Structures are given as C-alpha cells and as structure tokens.
Amino acid sequence: MTLDRAKVASVAELARLAINDDELSDYQQALNDILALVDQLQGVDTSTVEPLANPLDATQRLRADVVTEGNQREQLMSVAPHAEGGFFLVPKVID
Amino acid sequence: MLPTTLVELSRGLARGDFSSRELTQHYLDRIKQLNPSLNAFITINEGQALQAAAAADESRAANNATAMTGIPIAVKDIFCTRGIKTSCGSRMLDNFIAPYESTATAKLQQAGFISLGKTNLDEFAMGSSTETSFYGPTANPWDISRVPGGSSGGSAAAVAADLVPAALGTDTGGSIRQPASFCGITGLKPTYGRVSRWGMIAFGSSLDQGGPLAKSAEDAALLLNAIAGFDERDSTSMNRPVEDYSALLQQSIRGLKVGLPVEYFSDQLNDGIRESVHNAAKELEKLGAELHEVSLPRTDLAIPAYYIIAPAEASTNLSRYDGVKFGYRCAAPENLSDLYRRSRAEGFGAEVKRRIMLGTYALSAGYYDAYYRKAQQLRRLIKQDFQATLAEVDVILGPTTPSTAWQLGEKNADPVAMYMEDIYTLAVNLAGLPGLSIPCGFAAGLPVGLQLIGDYFSEARLLNIGHQLQTVTEWHLQTPKT
C-alpha cells in the first residue's frame, strides 16, 4: 500500500498537523518506507485469531460511580497557555 | 571513596560513614562536572535535593529512616513531578510544570529516595538513541561520540557515569533494556501492569511500563520494591500483592531451564555480541542451569506489529496536545483549526510527527482492519509463541540488541534502520512480559547486554538469575573512564 500526496495531506488533516509542500514529500517518503516494512503482516494468516488489545487479556476494571478526586481547578488550569475565570481561551469558534 | 550501589550506600548511611547531605552534594558535584559533556539531565533539582537530604539526615538521627532514606536517584523526564518541569524531551512541554506527582515518583519519595533531577529522553519516548530530544542528544559515557541508546538514554548514562546510583526509566519497545545494554548497566522492564502508569506521560498505553536502571540486579530489585504496586488511578494496574523482589536473589539456579531462541542468534548478529552472550550462558550452565534450543518463529514480525500498534496508540495519546489546556501554543492563531495545526506542527519534532501520521493512518476508516486490527492479531500470535516456549523452559535468554552503540547521527537518515535495532526487545512489550537486561561483556570496547525474558510477574526469578550471574562475573562492575 503506497500513499499518494492527497492521502498524506488528508492524514495530516486528521492528525491536525500543519504541513507544507516540502514536508509533504518527506512524509510521503517516510510513511511509504515504514508501510513497506509493515506490509509483511499481510502475508500472515490470522483468520482464526482474536486481536489482543491488553497484553494480559485483562478486562477493564470498573468502579463505583462516586467522586474520589477533589476539585483542583486552579492548580490544573495554572499550566494553561491562556485561561481566565475558569475558562480555557481559544480563538472565536462561533460566528 | 564513596560506594556506588544502593546496597552499599544504604549500609554506609546506616553506619554513619557519610551523611545524605554529603552523598547528595557528591553526586550534584559530579553532575555539574560531567553533565555538560553528557547532557544526561534536562533539569537538576539542586536546592530541593539538598533540602531533602538535610531532612533525611534528621530522620536518620531520630531513628525514623528506612533502607533507602536519603539516597539520590534520577527520574526520566516523562514522569510528572509536581512543581518541577516535566518536558518529555519535547518543545510541546518545554514550559510545562507538572501540577501533580506521578504514582511511581510519589512511591520513590515515600521510600526515602531523593531525586536529583529529570533525565533526557527521546521526544515522547519515541526513539532508540535519545537523539530526538528537543534538548539535544545524550552521549554514551563509554564513548561520547556514540549514542547511549534510548529512549531512557539520560537515565542510563547518568547511572553508567555515576551521576546517580540508580534511575527510573520507561520501556515501550525496549527503552529501558536497550540503553542499559548500550551503557553497560542493568535495566528491568516489569510485567505490564506491575508499576502504575498514572502520571507517566503516555506513549503506547498497552505497551508502556516504568522500571529501574541500576548498577546491578540486586539494586534493581530494591528499586522495583519501591515502585511496584496496584494503583486505583491506573485502570491497567494489576491488583497483585508486591512481593519482596530481593527475596529470591540468593536462590541457586541449579536445574533452571534456559531457552535460547535460534532466531535470536542468526547470521545478522554481531559476532562480538554472539560470543559475549554465549559465554554468559555458559556461566549460567556452570551454576547448574540447563541450556535448551527453542524457537520463536514470529520474531521478525514483532517489528511490523509494533510499528503499527505503538504509533497508533501514540497518535491517540498525543491528540491531547492541542495548545488549549497545557503545553506549547503557536503565536497569533487565526482560528481554532490554525491553533491546533500549528501548535502541534511547531511543538512536536519530526519523529513524533512521523509516528502520529503513521498511527493516524493505521487507525483511519478503511485501514483500521488491514493495519491496527491485523497487528493486534499478530500480537496474540507472538504472545502465544512466548507462552508455549515458557511452558517448556523457565526463562528465555538472548542478546538485548543486535548491535552495540552506534555513532551519534549515524542512523538518523533512515528511521526504518533504527527500528530494526529493536528486534529483541519489542516482542516482550507486545506480550507484556518482564524483561531484564544485564551487562555480559564488551565488543570492540563497547558494552554488550544480555536479555532474560520470563513469564508474567516473574521479576523475582529474573533478578535472581541476573544476580547469580553477577556473583560469578564482573561485567556489571566495569565503569567508563569519566
């Protein structure tokens, strides 16, 4: 499977990464090189194999739906690039 | 002359041979002297460390000290340390002061360790050489023109150069074991779920595990005792009591069945490494172990499986870096889309972006089954191979890496060339098994590491074997000239 430039551009959009035309060619090359490596998997018969998500085949642990962490809003927002009055500020989204 | 191991330092402090303040000052002086050429540390916590050392001495005077009270340590800059810069080796978090403490580092503090600082790493733990760090590469203390390995290269170099007696690292595809091997020290990746990942910045959530880098298996056991344990806050943490990882160290390995996979000793393997590993295996035989030939037929497939799964999980984990809640934000964003796209493009380095792109593609509609799901199926087959082999033998033994430390810059032109160097370590993360790397010799003057892979939660057994080898060999006692 090789990627064309349009595909690379659409992946960059999904990943929310700005890339210019020069970079696009570099990514195309790099991704195609890596995909050539990973395409080895296609030759292996896995028709009867269940995918393994957790290496110990552990299932998600559940807990009671109660609050266990205290409110640390000020502290956790202290690292925000732009925050005010308990809100994270971003460029206007709604017209 | 101060001792250099956790065991000896603990004894020395207990006997009053030296104080924690003296010890801390000694290591801080060494860091000041050697860090400029090694670049092992991103942040050095001089003030806090000396304060903590003074407090440790007071505790000791009041008979309130434990074995590790007042012993310096270093922490890979991927663990959130409250009030201290936590960069993950990236411009994206260059301005990030962690607002909370990771479970692993909180446990180190509870055990009495004193963190001297945060060590360098490949950006977001993605790499095998510590060259992708925003803060520049770390040098290998054995030869400063060479890489220390990665991604925990800073921690490995710091321990090898005696800037600290031990350090915390993380391992997603070999990032503790490989730098331990390149730097001639001992490194352990615990079983998945053994050490809490809460506060340990996520790269590949089904692969990541924190663990010790130290001068010996004996020391690694002490560090594992401190950091292991169930954590409510980590949903993948296994609810299993913490055994004493030092308890089995002295056990005889007579009758131990050691499997050497034929695939790990192919013609591609560096002859010097092959010889060192075989010699170490013979030492185990002299101690009464039985060597058996085994086969792990899908060894080669670990690379493609890993390089789909890890980037896929990374693409999801790194989607939180959006310039909004923390971390780097681009200047003068025109709109929200521009904010995201440019903050991420400018905040992340090239390797990280490559992996995000690859992972995004592998998970995207129409490709998920062919790539991610396929890789997860391969993952189960790889796990099954290990389980079948570990039913026949007690432990698997092989080289940690196919090469010794390469020159800085040598493998940067082709990312795939570096990926191939992870061949012996990746599968262990895919299966979630524990893996220990210990020094077993030198090839052309550079350290060689041997890897032991055990069954789930068999860390005590692995450390036992490592320790027994270290009682009859002296590779782990060698230090670089610094």
Chain B contact set for A92 (CB, 8 A): 335
Q: How far is residue B380's CA from residue B467's CA, in Å, rounded to a whole number?
A: 32
Write out pLDDT tens, residues B395-414: 999 999 999 999 999 998 88
Per-residue confidence (pLDDT) for residue B308, from 0 to 100 = 96
The amino acid occupying position A53 is A
Give pLDDT tens digits along chain B (482 positions).
Answer: 899 999 999 999 999 999 999 999 999 999 999 999 999 999 999 999 999 999 999 999 999 999 999 999 999 999 999 999 999 999 999 999 999 999 999 999 999 999 999 999 999 999 999 999 999 999 999 999 999 999 999 999 999 999 999 999 999 999 999 999 999 999 999 999 999 999 999 999 999 999 999 999 999 999 999 999 999 999 999 999 999 999 999 999 999 999 999 999 998 899 999 999 999 999 999 999 999 999 999 999 999 999 999 999 999 999 999 999 999 999 999 999 999 999 999 999 999 999 999 999 999 988 999 999 999 999 999 999 999 999 999 999 999 999 999 999 999 888 888 899 999 999 999 999 999 999 999 999 999 999 999 999 999 999 999 999 999 999 999 999 98
Which of A35, A44, A60 is facing B301, going by the closest CB pair?
A44
State the nearest Cα–Cα gap between A77 and chain B, in angstroms: 7
Among all residues of chain B, which has the CA nearest to that of A7? B361
Q: Residues of A with CB below 8 A from B360's CB?
A: 11, 14-15
* Residue A93 predicted with pLDDT over 90: no
Bin B332: left if φ > 0, else alpha if -120 < ψ < 50, else beta.
left
Instruction: Tell me whether residues B375 and A38 touch, CB distance under 8 A.
Output: yes
Among the partner-chain residues B338, B341, B380, the one whose CB lies closest to the CB of A51 is B380
Alpha carbons within 13 A on the beta-carbon side of B378: 30
Cross-chain Cβ contact A88/B415 below 8 Å? no
- pLDDT reported for residue A1: 63
List beta partners, residue B144.
none
Q: Do B380 and A90 touch (CB under 8 A)?
A: no
B91 and chain A in contact, CB less than 8 A: no
| H or E stretch covering B103 | helix B103-111
**Is A49 in contact with B323 (Cβ distance < 8 A)?**
no
Tokens of A9: 């551009």
Minimal Cα–Cα distance from A86 to chain B, Å?
11
| Bridge partners, B448 (sequence order) | B441
Chain B CB contacts of A75 below 8 Å: 99-100
Whole-model pTM over 0.90: yes
Assess B358–A contact: CB distance below 8 Å, yes or no: yes
Task: Place A37 in a pLDDT band, splitting at 50, 70 and 90.
Answer: confident
Angle at CA B231, nearest 5°, toward B226 and B234? 125
Number of Cβ atoms within 10 Å of the Cβ of A36: 13
The pLDDT of A44-58, averaged and rounded, is: 95
The predicted complex's ipTM stands at: 0.95
- B172: tokens are 């997603």
By CB neighbour count within 10 A (0-12 exposed, 13-18 middle, 19+ buried), where does A8 fall?
buried
Question: Is A2 a residue whose pLDDT tops 90?
Answer: no
Q: How far is B21 from chain A (nearest CA, A)?
A: 32
β-pairing, B435-443 vs B186-189, is: antiparallel
**Distance of alpha carbon B118 from alpha carbon B41, whole angstroms:** 6
Maximum alpha-carbon separation in chain B: 70
Region A26-50: mean pLDDT is 91
Banded pLDDT at A95 (limits 50, 70, 90): low
Question: What is the C-alpha to C-alpha distance for residues B469 and B463, in angstroms, rounded to an integer?
Answer: 10
Residues of B acting as catalytic residues: 76, 151, 175
Give the Cα separation of B142 and B146 in Å (integer): 8
Residue B279 burial (CB count, 10 A): 14
Q: Does B357 contact A8 at a Cβ distance shorter than 8 Å?
A: yes
> Which tokens in the block code for residue B119?
């060590």
A56 to B380: CB separation less than 8 angstroms, yes or no: no
Specify whether the CB–CB gap between B352 and B123 falls below 8 A.
yes
CB contact under 8 A, A41 and B319: no
Whether residue B429 contacts residue B193, with contact meaning beta carbons closer than 8 Å, is answered with: no
